[in-house]
Structure 1
Amino acid sequence: MTSDLALKSALPFSDIRGVPVSYRDRGAIEGLERAILMSLSFRGDAIAEIDAVLAEHPDFMMGWLFKAGWLTQAMETRVYDTMLDCLAQSERLLAGCNDRELGHYEAVMAWVRGDFFDAVQKWEAVLTRYPMDLLALELIHYTMVLLGDVPGQRDVVARVFNLWDESVPGYEFVLGFYSFGLEENRDFARAEELARQALAIRPDNPYAVHTVSHVMEMRGRQAGGIRFMRDHAATWGTSNFANHLWWHTGLYHLDLEQYDAVFEIFDTHLDSRHKDGHKYEELDAAALLWRMNLVGQDTGDRWTHLAAKWEPAAQDTLYAFNDVHAMLTFVSDGRDDAQKALLSANERYLQDASDANAAMTREIGLPFCLAMQDFKNEDYKGCVKRLLPIRYMTYRLGGSYAQRDIIGWTLLEAALRAREFDLALALANERTGIKPTSAQNWRAVARAFEGLGDKGQADRATAKAQSLIAA
């Protein structure tokens, strides 16, 4: 953790890692560091912290750029006016800025134009020149997760990783970023090693916990995952990212058919009816409930309040990943008008859009939204027809493998309900090959064999699922 001694021993007008800052006030630079630390650790309110700094130092350009940069990760239209105000404040200070600050400014400018990929390139140029710019690294890595750039999540850290060590403040967060990039690129052993190294330095590092949770999910280590997550839950804090870690915990219980535990997690940690609610929290809630529907669990009235939270954003067309989760709630709660509004808005948007989200919407977002309508309307063949051609392109939607698996699972369940048992068996076999310790995957194999009339194979698959649950 950053110490006061480290802050005082840094260069006069640079941050604690030696990255230059044009504003000549040590107190402002220390305040920025506190805000960055909050964003990295998902502790406290980074925006409130930097607002307090800016109230005292309104000409602190890097403070305005941090605020704008951190708000990009919300992927919500509600923050755009604030981002534009931050850019306006930064613009009046351009004459006295350095090249690092100019790069951050240009990156956020690209972002608000909708060119997320150009924003990443601008931030990457900053990081290449200043490899200790932890803010640039953070924003690039998180944005690559949002955009589904799987190799980039790893490689952006690899380009600077050898220049970092434990003597540089924030090294534990760099380990966390690198470990997650390695996990998404299926280098599970090294990913877990680096994540646990990060936790040894800082036990309350939620992003390192996140990597381990992904490794255990992808490797099908459900029982170990539950123990690990429960052991670390006290260190997560109460941010929306903590809710995401509870979502991961719910996936382990779901795989083991421990449905009461899944609902307990939802009702205790993901139910936002008594909270202000932000999209990150509501994404996880919708994704978990849809999975529970896929396994035939009655979710009661939980969809109703969740759909009400999403309905004001039905026509945002800002980020396809948000749109598909909104659609999950609309179809599940039977909100026909909200479905029509979302689809119409996206169709109008695609007529002349050329920003980064257009391709995400056209190739994956809109087909999945329509497939969800098919599924809810029991047109399972139509659902299969929409999803089968895109199942290997889903990374273009953004998010992680674990999050995007909702598409593959919906496709498999639709194939089973459409009585396309040859296809269902192929898809189920594909899933057991990737994660053979999943009871849910073996249940699907059994249902496919049963549909094909092979009772012996169906019984063997069922026995495999039961043995996994008993273990």
Structure 2
Amino acid sequence: MATTDRYGNAVSTTNRGAVATLDQAAEAMLGFRADPLALADAAIAEQPDFAMGHALRAGLMVMSGEPAAAAEGLRSIEAGEALRHANARERAHLAAARAWCEGDMSLAQTRYGAISAEYPRDLFALQVAHTTDFFLGNAAGLRDRPTAAMRNWREAETGFAWMLGMQAFGLEECGEYGQAEQAGRMALALNPTDAWATHAVAHVMEMQGRDREGVQFLGLREGAWSQAGLLAVHNWWHLALYHLEHSEHDQVLAIYDRAVAPREGSVVLELVDASAMLWRLMLRGVETGGRFAAVSAAWQAMGGAGFYAFSDLHAVMAHLGAGRADLVAEVLGAMRRAAAGRGSNARMTRDIGLPLAEGFAAFMLGDHGRAVWTMVPVAGQAIGFGGSNAQRDVIWLTLLEAALRAGEGSVARGLAGRRLAAKPESPFAQAAMARSRAVGAARAA
């Protein structure tokens, strides 16, 4: 009888100890807890020819979204591919990871999605597919893949809650807020430690302008989600967003300094949060001291410009805020080279990332009119280069502020009206509408 993992997926080793350790790695990643990479390494150390161990390790590199992880991922892939006894599912994992590490993000997304469809009890394949959908802006995939997989599970089974959390986030990204919150709260009822489900409900509250409720929601569950080290920074970022909407800048900076600011070992997604929060504060005229310089230095140390357009835009934000024109030019140059290439990131950079980065640079130089008309044609297509609705909101916020400063009253009114319709109780949205009307009145005078 074939050895299986905890959810019934066949593996090509009979070493049950190694399988149990790899199960722990996959579960740690589902919960964004502990150190899944160390656990994967421990499983491989126990059974060096464990094909799924190498495949899971490569998948962790994919999920990191970091350029340096591609080379590390390829080493794991090559180790797995050399094992002739690997089964079909393990080989499919290795092929999917190889596509990502070789720069074909769309093919990796397709392959991981196919694994999840064929093996709906493979939660790691589902999670990696979910992550690639996030990286590539596939909102429907974020919703539909976990929904499809759930049909092969019973609600009482361990593991079902993880899929509910993924489904909740996908529903939110598709604008189905009521169903998203219901799924997220159900996931938390089954598994209160699910930081991804917590994050999904936090997104719903952000998109609906339920800021005070969001502060309370995250506060009541802080003891659980703050232990999810791989996602905690992002949930702190969400808490800061609620305070930012009410101009509670001291609280935002306190959260930033305590939990969001770069530290040794910060990963790309954490630098994205740090850059975006400081940029939002800068747009509101809040003094951030030397904080931009620290984030800029972290991006410079990370390297890999031109690998993923969404990250590149956030690196540009940090360098602009720090006044590092040299680093801005360096990243823009890498983006232009990437845009001239082929593949998923070339398209994302060419069509979305590079125009936005150039628009942000124009904004920081005070050329607000050029910033507006550089960003207007692409802002509405920004889902195509990944991230969440809440993360991409920094684009609309920058465009709105650029329009206000450029005296483009009609553009500003349209953007402010959109915010006010989504968040009628938002003090920021109300103030933005008042400013846009004042701009229009001044032009008419």
Does 2:58 align with 1:68? yes
Cα distance in 2, alignment partners of residues 77 and 116 from structure 1: 12
- RMSD, matched Cα: 1.5
Cα deviation digits, residues 42-82 of structure 1 (max 9, x gap): 11000011111111210000001000001111111222222
Cα distance in 2, alignment partners of residues 453 and 81 from structure 1: 57
Letter in 2 for 1:362: R
Does 2:170 align with 1:181? yes
Corresponding residue for residue 269 of structure 1: 259
Worse overlay, 73-82 or 311-320 = 311-320
| 1:73 aligned counterpart, secondary structure | helix
Cα distance in 2, alignment partners of residues 203 and 146 from structure 1: 26
Displacement of 1:315 after TM fit? Answer: 5.0
Letter in 2 for 1:130: Y
Corresponding residue for residue 345 of structure 2: 357
| 1:452 aligned counterpart, secondary structure | helix
Unaligned runs of 5+ in 1: 1-10, 455-471
Letter in 2 for 1:214: H
**Which residue among 298, 314, 318 is the counterpart of 2:287?**
298
Cα distance in 1, alignment partners of residues 97 and 366 from structure 2: 43
Tell me: CA distance 1:298–1:254, structure 2 relative to 1, closer, same or farther (3 Å): same
**Which residue among 349, 369, 372 is the counterpart of 2:360?**
372
Does 2:180 align with 1:191? yes
Cα distance in 2, alignment partners of residues 198 and 330 from structure 1: 39
**Which residue among 385, 400, 405 is the counterpart of 1:412?**
400
Cα distance in 2, alignment partners of residues 152 and 306 from structure 1: 32
Corresponding residue for residue 384 of structure 1: 372
Cα distance in 2, alignment partners of residues 178 and 137 from structure 1: 11
Letter in 2 for 1:136: A
| Count, aligned residues | 442
Displacement of 1:165 after TM fit? Answer: 2.1
Cα distance in 1, alignment partners of residues 441 and 172 from structure 2: 39
Corresponding residue for residue 18 of structure 1: 8
Corresponding residue for residue 237 of structure 2: 247
Does 2:46 align with 1:56? yes
Cα distance in 1, alignment partners of residues 320 and 272 from structure 2: 15
Tell me: CA distance 1:395–1:244, structure 2 relative to 1, closer, same or farther (3 Å): same
Alignment of 1:47-446 (within 5 A): 47-93=37-83, 95-236=84-225, 237=227, 239-272=229-262, 274-313=263-302, 316-351=305-340, 353-446=341-434
Cα distance in 2, alignment partners of residues 292 and 376 from structure 1: 14
| 2:131 aligned counterpart, secondary structure | helix
Displacement of 1:91 after TM fit? Answer: 1.2
| 2:223 aligned counterpart, secondary structure | helix
Cα deviation digits, residues 73-122 of structure 1 (max 9, x gap): 111122222211101110111x2121111111110111112111111221
Corresponding residue for residue 469 of structure 1: none
Contact 1:240 1:281 in 2 (8 A): no
Contact 1:421 1:452 in 2 (8 A): yes
Cα distance in 1, alignment partners of residues 196 and 258 from structure 2: 21
Displacement of 1:453 after TM fit? Answer: 2.6
Contact 1:314 1:323 in 2 (8 A): no
Letter in 1 for 2:389: Y
Contact 2:99 2:108 in 1 (8 A): yes
Letter in 1 for 2:396: G
Displacement of 1:390 after TM fit? Answer: 1.1
Displacement of 1:275 after TM fit? Answer: 2.7
Cα distance in 2, alignment partners of residues 240 and 334 from structure 1: 30
Letter in 1 for 2:132: T
Cα deviation digits, residues 272-327 of structure 1 (max 9, x gap): 2x433221111101100100111111111111111111123455311111100000
Contact 1:145 1:398 in 2 (8 A): yes
Contact 1:117 1:356 in 2 (8 A): yes
Letter in 2 for 1:231: L
Tell me: CA distance 1:127–1:240, structure 2 relative to 1, closer, same or farther (3 Å): closer
Letter in 1 for 2:384: R
Contact 1:13 1:20 in 2 (8 A): yes
Q: TM-score, normalised by structure 2?
A: 0.97
Displacement of 1:415 after TM fit? Answer: 0.2
Cα deviation digits, residues 411-439 of structure 1 (max 9, x gap): 00000000111221121111111221221
Letter in 2 for 1:84: L
Cα deviation digits, residues 12-37 of structure 1 (max 9, x gap): 51112211111111111111110001
Cα distance in 2, alignment partners of residues 240 and 326 from structure 1: 20
Cα deviation digits, residues 241-283 of structure 1 (max 9, x gap): 10000000111000111111100100100112x4332211111
Cα deviation digits, residues 190-236 of structure 1 (max 9, x gap): 11111111111111110010011001001110000000011111112
Q: TM-score, normalised by structure 1?
A: 0.91
Cα distance in 2, alignment partners of residues 314 and 344 from structure 1: 13
Contact 2:52 2:90 in 1 (8 A): yes
Contact 1:240 1:280 in 2 (8 A): no
Corresponding residue for residue 457 of structure 1: none
| 2:8 aligned counterpart, secondary structure | coil
Cα distance in 2, alignment partners of residues 127 and 449 from structure 1: 50
Contact 1:314 1:326 in 2 (8 A): no
Contact 1:12 1:26 in 2 (8 A): no
Unaligned runs of 5+ in 2: none
| 2:69 aligned counterpart, secondary structure | helix
Cα distance in 1, alignment partners of residues 13 and 211 from structure 2: 49
Letter in 2 for 1:39: M
> Share of identical aligned residues, percent?
37
Contact 1:15 1:29 in 2 (8 A): yes
Letter in 2 for 1:168: E
Cα distance in 2, alignment partners of residues 315 and 194 from structure 1: 37
